[in-house]
Amino acid sequence: MKRRRDRASRCGRIAEVDLAATYQEVRKSIVAFVPRHITLREGEEAPEFPPIVGTGFIVDEGLVVTNDHVVRSLARLPRPPETPLEEWPFTALLLHEIPTEGIAQVPLEVLGVGALGEIQVKGHYYGPRRPDLALVHVKAKGLPILAVDSQAVPLKEGMVVATAGFPMGTDALRAPGYLHQITPTLQQGIISAVLPFSTPRPHALMINVMTQGGASGSPVFAPDRPAVIGVLYAGLNELQTSPGMPRPYLVPTNQTYVVPAHYLERVLEKVRADKAFELPSDTIALEEMLSHTPRHVLQPRGEFALEGKRNTSQTKEIRSVKPSEIRTIDDSQSGS
């Protein structure tokens, strides 16, 4: 028994190392979809980071994958009256790490959107007629591409998978009231169910990862190599009631649905052969974009800098306080 536990422990450590290395590659291809125009009240300053509507990931030159419902929400974003009708009201924001500088916010111009039609199926089919997938065509090349491989993980219950994106959108990045995170959030779980049952081409997967708004469109990938096996599209919510609450409310569970990658593989075959998705001749590469296009680099701030050294600020003297003083401090901070 001891020898078996030791071997399992070693395998656990290996899996953790593999996922850590895999994620360093996956995160390079993840983008956040944000409004192109932000409405501000008089005297209001622009936010330090734009609101995130959904997640996507780069799969080819100028091609970003996300959910159909994410694109539909983005298309309804407000725009100034003088905005041309053919201009999309959102951008794909690539958070590109620049060594020794920080994270650069690189907005990728949206050229168009590819929506899926209804599936024509012979025989029994238990899934949606239109999978929740969409392709966003962006004007950029030389982008970090994430491979799509429906065979990267056997589609069986109990297989370990990972996902990364922006659950809760910008709210999670600004949880303490200011921007303290500038990266996607990584999660790991297992395949809980294959829908409708075990089959080579299921219509959906269920994984035991909790998700919230903003994570839709996140890649679900193999933990041991950067290969996408599906696209996260919805979480299972539970309807609950509580005494004193006027109406029932939804509570997220740790069950989330995924569009399997075999749908995406077939779509990509057709899109790559479609001239409508070719990039314009004046498209520039990411490296050129970084060197010639103005960009906003988010600098590290707080107690530690990139090198891990403390800054010169010192903590104030510690003093003893009473419970009533704590309440006073909390009240003053909550109202500021």
What is the mean pLDDT of the segment spanning 56-77?
A: 96
CA–CA distance from 183 to each of 93, 212, 312 (Å)?
12, 16, 26
- Give the range among 53-62, 143-152, 201-210, 327-336 with minimum mean pLDDT: 327-336
Q: What percent of the chain has pLDDT over 70?
A: 82
The whole-number average pLDDT for the span 197-204 is 91
Distance CA 38, CA 47 (A): 9
C-alpha distance from residue 256 to each of 69, 85, 253 (Å): 16, 36, 8
- Which of the two residues, 291 and 69, has the higher pLDDT score? 69
Q: List the CATH code of the domain at 2-298.
A: 2.40.10.120
* pLDDT over 60 (residue 219): yes
- Predicted local confidence at residue 41, as pLDDT: 83
pTM: 0.83
pLDDT at 242: 86
Please tell me the distance from the alpha carbon of residue 208 to that of residue 188, in angstroms, as a whole number.
8
Using the predicted structure, report yes or no on whether residue 135 has a pLDDT greater than 70.
yes
155 closest CA partner among 18, 59, 259? 259
